[in-house]
Amino acid sequence: MSTASAETEITRMEVGTGASARSIAMRIFRAEPRSERPALVWLGGYRSDMTGTKAVEVEHYARAAGTDCIRFDYSGHGSSGGDFRDGTISRWIEESLAVIDHAAPAARLILIGSSMGGWVALRLLQELKRRGETGRVAGLVLIAPAPDFTAELIEPNLTEAEKTSLAERGYFEEPSQYSPEPNIFTRALIEDGRANRVLLGPVETGCPVHILQGMRDPDVPYAHALKLMEHMPADDVVMTLIRDGDHRLSRDEDIAKLKQAIGAMLTQA
């Protein structure tokens, strides 16, 4: 398996106006000849970027399958502009919609969301439906999805020191096992997360869903993925539990399962 970055050129677009304007970096692969198949849209996780193993392998798969692929970095991530501490779910959803409108204004989509990207994918689908674009999303592939993680996984476990830091400094830090820099969670992110919750009632996607979840995930327990599945009673939902899988699910065998899930979505579309 190749883990080298695909050579798709970085392009940019501006999202927001005035003080909230930020430059969003994208890598957009266009299939030749033009494809009628749904475009693959990569939605990354918290503090991840579009050069990660899974993101690159999704584009490799799109190339082999002859369909378009859209990768981008949220503001404050990777090659995009903006301050990470200004980031909220609403802000990153706004950017995701802008990128889709720019890169695939009329195409059907398969949204592939990793960790926080799973939350963004679910909210994107809701926003597209609200705009009257029902049926635009042909499928969802969610990898260790973390919908509502601020309310479900962070807030209930805050220590007194973290609560004090949020109140006095507007953020708190915790060590990251993936980076020498600590994870930063802001009061704005947590408050905005409450306004974007999706697990308060039925999650009606109207499209096939495939969830890939590691059972040794220390960041998003597999019980969280099961809870999400319980909120999808009417949908075509498949869950693959990977007994020895961690949060990243970036091993060769994990990538193979990811590609199988995407392939099944393309076949159904």
Q: Residue 4 pLDDT more than 50?
A: no
Domains and CATH numbers, the chain: 10-146+208-268 (3.40.50.1820)
The identity of residue 129, as a single letter, is: K
Confidence of residue 177 (pLDDT cuts 50, 70, 90): confident
pTM of the model: 0.95
The span from the CA of 241 to the CA of 214, in Å, is 6
Mean pLDDT over each residue of the chain, to the nearest integer: 95
Mean pLDDT of all residues in 111-137: 97
Confidence of residue 81 (pLDDT cuts 50, 70, 90): very high
pLDDT of residue 106: 87
Among the listed residues 91, 106, 111, the one whose alpha carbon sits nearest the alpha carbon of residue 42: 111
